[in-house]
Structure 1
Amino acid sequence: MLLGGIIFIGFLGNLITMFTPEKSHVAMIQINGEIGTDHDTGNGEKIAQHLLTAMSNDDAQMIVIKANSPGGSPTDSQTINEIIVQYKQWKSPLPKGISEQIINDIENPVMMFQEDFTSSIDLKTLPRKLIVAVVIKQCASACVQAIINADVIIGQRASLIGNIGVRLDRINFSDFAKNVGVTNTTITSGQYKAMLNPWHAIDSEELDIAKTTLIEPVFEQFKADVLAARAEKFKLELDTLFSGLVWTGDEAQRIGLIDGVSNPVAVKSALEKISKAQYKEYSIESFSLGAFIKNPFASMGYL
């Protein structure tokens, strides 16, 4: 009876949502944790689908990407980035100065404490929806690639932002295996098929091949995305930007990697006043009977 009751409540919630008229809102989409997982907030395809849904929804006045990720899969981050780029290419460019206006409104304390404050930004006159990325604790590596084409990027003073680059880890078990008397025999179809096999030490030739064929091409794609998005805003040498360094939010703003510094409460207050609408969370999967049967508490968000 308990199981049947919980399943009924889940389906009832979905039905109520289905038949409730949607209100004007700010679409909030999360990137949380490692990018490339199967979670709704980590899977690039799922995040991109949420973005596409918000972009196509006339009731979504603005799109907010809440980012808190150490990085992850480049294919997933590229999927997110490319949806944003294609949306911006499809629509007319935003008027100049919009980014600065958004930052000014967010940093204006009146926006939080004066209920009837009216922003100078009229979203209805814009050719498309504004996309604002808000970094919480960190946005590193693939996370940067995912959000780099947002119209406005905001971090906190102590947020960790950067680490632009590509890495490939390869464990070497060969000495350990030798000490414990374990051997590994690998039969391959080609000379380099087992190049990254952890049971033998990698030599200099294989290191060069891995860097040339795996690391450098993806790194060039990453750099091209970053430069296409913000080249004119950077205030440091590109060798330093692409060195793998990480900056605090304050420093990231100074060097042009982000546009402003604030906190998620002030940002939410300002953006809701600008849009005259409230945040609506998109990154919540609907009730799944299959997921419930597998783990009834996980599907409700307890584990």
Structure 2
Amino acid sequence: MTPPNDDASAPSDPTVPNPDSTAAAAPPPPIGRGSFDHVMEQFARDYLRDRRSSRRWNLFFRFGWLALGVFAAWSVYRDNHSSSTPTGPHTALVELRGEIAAEGQASAEVLLSGLKSAFEDAGAQGVILRINSPGGSPVQSGIVFDELRRLKEKHHKKVYAVVEESAASGAYYIAAAADEIYVDKASIVGSIGVLMDGFGFDKVMQKVGVERRLLTAGENKGMLDPYSPLSEKQRGYAQAMLDQIHRQFIDSVRTGRGKRLKETPETFSGLFWNGEEAVKMGLADGLGNLDYVAREVIKAEEVIDYTPKENVAERLAKRFGAALGEGAVRALGRLPALR
């Protein structure tokens, strides 16, 4: 006879915990003051954590900006004091690179700052203006030409123009003020002329049926507007102005080069030549580079650069603001240029 199964027949004891019931999650506490305090405490902890994180990021950015300012100040100081003051005889160098414009490293302000320092240094036996430029503003070129001649007379020092790739148009305008001009046999030299370029869209607008509404006070105020027709009278005004600037350019070249210049009908036509031909035409005095002129002509082989250098703070300023005005003027494309 099989004994009865005690486990199956035994009634459940309410005092013994049920394994299945312990696995289930405990029911949430009843809503009351205790649960409200718990929620507020959690909110306060989260808020304080966010505030601490925000303060850390604020401190990080403040220290970042402070470090940037210190770095910019250090860069300015380094640029101004990086080279020791020359004590012995040497050749002074000033670089003219890129387009000659009021805003840029080839402006009259920048070039003359370096040239004045070079001329005023008692150890500088001569000044070399090393040129690699296609030209640019006739105003900036004329300012440098006049000041360069004044500095030569005041300090009784010679200045030599050394052309690398090119000294064209406004760059040659400046080079003409030098006592002597040296070029490479393949340098581009000359382009003694003036241009003013632009576009005319008035006929295109007529074809597509677009009306130009330009209001001016003064009959020539809209002169050279690309969307309006150009009258013969206005064309004559513009040409007369270009001819006058061209005449100023020619007079400066003749003054600077003197009897060395072998004029031909093409000399002032805007043509350009290589360095070898430029020497034959009297536009240059000989073939030579920076080291040759310093060593063989000036007789001071040590070369010290007086070209003003742009520091970090200036580059940042130009990137975020100063260059905008220059870009707007260039976009018009209507100012005379020596290039």
Cα deviation, residue 187, structure 1: 1.6
C-alpha separation between the residues in 1 aligned to 2:80 and 2:165? 36
Contact 1:166 1:219 in 2 (8 A): yes
Spell out, residue by residue over 1:191-240, the C-alpha distance to the aligned partner (whole angstroms, 9 max, x if none): 2111111112323222112111x111111111111111113112232x32
1:34 aligns with 2:99: yes
Cα deviation, residue 290, structure 1: 5.2
Residue number among 273, 282, 303 corresponding to 1:279 in the alignment: 303
Contact 1:48 1:79 in 2 (8 A): no
Cα deviation, residue 55, structure 1: 1.5
Spell out, residue by residue over 1:229-270, the C-alpha distance to the aligned partner (whole angstroms, 9 max, x if none): 113112232x32111110110000001000001234434544
Partner of 1:262: 288
Spell out, residue by residue over 1:92-126, the C-alpha distance to the aligned partner (whole angstroms, 9 max, x if none): xxxxxxxxxxxxxxxxxxxxxxxxxxxxxxxxxxx
Contact 1:52 1:83 in 2 (8 A): no
Partner of 1:229: 256
Contact 1:27 1:62 in 2 (8 A): yes
Cα deviation, residue 170, structure 1: 2.6
C-alpha separation between the residues in 2 aligned to 1:133 and 1:13? 29
C-alpha separation between the residues in 1 aligned to 2:97 and 2:318? 23
Taking structure 1 as reference, are residues 89 and 263 closer, same or farther at Cα in structure 2, changes over 3 Å only?
Answer: closer
Taking structure 1 as reference, are residues 10 and 249 closer, same or farther at Cα in structure 2, changes over 3 Å only?
Answer: same
Taking structure 1 as reference, are residues 233 and 37 closer, same or farther at Cα in structure 2, changes over 3 Å only?
Answer: same
C-alpha separation between the residues in 2 aligned to 1:68 and 1:255? 20
C-alpha separation between the residues in 2 aligned to 1:87 and 1:4? 37
Contact 1:51 1:83 in 2 (8 A): no
Partner of 1:63: 127
Residue number among 167, 180, 201 corresponding to 1:152 in the alignment: 180
Contact 1:139 1:162 in 2 (8 A): yes
Cα deviation, residue 83, structure 1: 0.8
Spell out, residue by residue over 1:26-64, the C-alpha distance to the aligned partner (whole angstroms, 9 max, x if none): 221111111115222x11222122212222221322111
C-alpha separation between the residues in 1 aligned to 2:243 and 2:318? 41
After the TM superposition, which residues 108-187 of structure 1 pair with which residues of structure 2 at under 5 Å, given as runs? 128-187=156-215
Taking structure 1 as reference, are residues 293 and 254 closer, same or farther at Cα in structure 2, changes over 3 Å only?
Answer: closer
Structure 2: which amino acid aligns with 1:287? N
Taking structure 1 as reference, are residues 198 and 293 closer, same or farther at Cα in structure 2, changes over 3 Å only?
Answer: closer
Partner of 1:114: none
State the secondary structure of the residue aligned to 2:214: coil
C-alpha separation between the residues in 1 aligned to 2:100 and 2:111? 10
**TM-score, with length taken from structure 2:** 0.68
Structure 1: which amino acid aligns with 2:266? T
State the secondary structure of the residue aligned to 1:196: coil
Contact 1:45 1:79 in 2 (8 A): no
Structure 2: which amino acid aligns with 1:80? V
After the TM superposition, which residues 180-199 of structure 1 pair with which residues of structure 2 at under 5 Å, given as runs? 180-199=208-227
- Percent identity among equivalent residues? 27
Q: Which has the larger radius of gyration?
A: 2
**TM-score, with length taken from structure 1:** 0.75
Structure 2: which amino acid aligns with 1:289? A
Partner of 1:87: 151
Partner of 2:61: none
Taking structure 1 as reference, are residues 205 and 49 closer, same or farther at Cα in structure 2, changes over 3 Å only?
Answer: same
C-alpha separation between the residues in 2 aligned to 1:283 and 1:15? 11
Gaps of 5+ in 1: 92-127, 297-303
Spell out, residue by residue over 1:61-97, the C-alpha distance to the aligned partner (whole angstroms, 9 max, x if none): 2111011111110000001100112223446xxxxxx
Structure 2: which amino acid aligns with 1:177? M
Gaps of 5+ in 2: 1-63, 321-339
C-alpha separation between the residues in 2 aligned to 1:46 and 1:293? 16
C-alpha separation between the residues in 2 aligned to 1:38 and 1:256? 32
1:207 aligns with 2:235: yes
Contact 1:44 1:77 in 2 (8 A): yes
Aligned residues, how many?
Answer: 254
